[in-house]
Amino acid sequence: MDISVNKVLDAKGLACPMPIVKTKKVITNLEPGQVMEVQATDKGSTADLKAWADSSGHQYLGTIEDGDVLKHFLRKASEEEAKEETKHEEVVNLDDLRKKIEGNEKISILDVREPAEFAFGHIPGAVNIPLGELEQRFEQLNQDDELHIICRTGNRSDLAAQQLTEKGFTNVKNVVPGMTKWEGPLNKN
């Protein structure tokens, strides 16, 4: 599968420690919240990248094996997402969202995370438009739907809900806290 990312790093053929040394350099130059793909052939790179991401605050999204190549996806840490207050007033918690899904209510879910985050686990049926692309793509959404917006922690979805409200959407709900705490069914691409 192809996942769009902000930057691809080719670390194929490099032995430890080089995949991480290079990843660290590249991620420094990314904007917070951007996603990179690290292509490596060193088997140990999966566990090491994961542990490094944990200790440095970045998000390890997952790894895809493509023949001998391991494609690791990482998202640069973003301090903005750490703050807890949200502004959009209409919120739905995860339990209620789950009940709606399980009750076979016809609802729309908009996932505003990056495609790589979406690819490694999302609610079945959710539509993915990353926050950064919403301005150009909001017309793909149906204004009449009851729209549940979700992201990782509730911050990007809050911004998305505000944006859509400005565009004239009237039935928009922010799902809190977000995918980090979601325990319902997951789809992977």
Positions marked active-site: 16
Q: Does residue 186 touch other proteins according to CB under 8 A?
A: no
CB closer to other proteins, 56 vs 142: 56
Contact 186, 98 (CB under 8 A): no
Contact 73, 5 (CB under 8 A): yes
Task: Report which of 78, 1, 84 is spatially closest to residue 34, judged by C-alpha positions.
Answer: 78
Q: Does residue 57 touch other proteins according to CB under 8 A?
A: no
Contact string 4-43 vs other proteins (x = CB under 8 A): -----------xxxx-xx--x------------------x
Q: Does residue 69 touch other proteins according to CB under 8 A?
A: no
CB closer to other proteins, 52 vs 138: 52
Q: Does residue 52 touch other proteins according to CB under 8 A?
A: yes
Task: Report which of 76, 86, 67, 65 is spatially closest to residue 27, judged by C-alpha positions.
Answer: 76
Q: In what order do the strands lie in the sheet with 108-111?
A: 91-93, 172-176, 147-150, 108-111, 127-128
Token match 């709900």: residue? 173
**Identified binder of other proteins from the candidate list 41, 48, 121, 162, rule CB under 8 A:** 48
**Identified binder of other proteins from the candidate list 6, 7, 34, 44, rule CB under 8 A:** 44
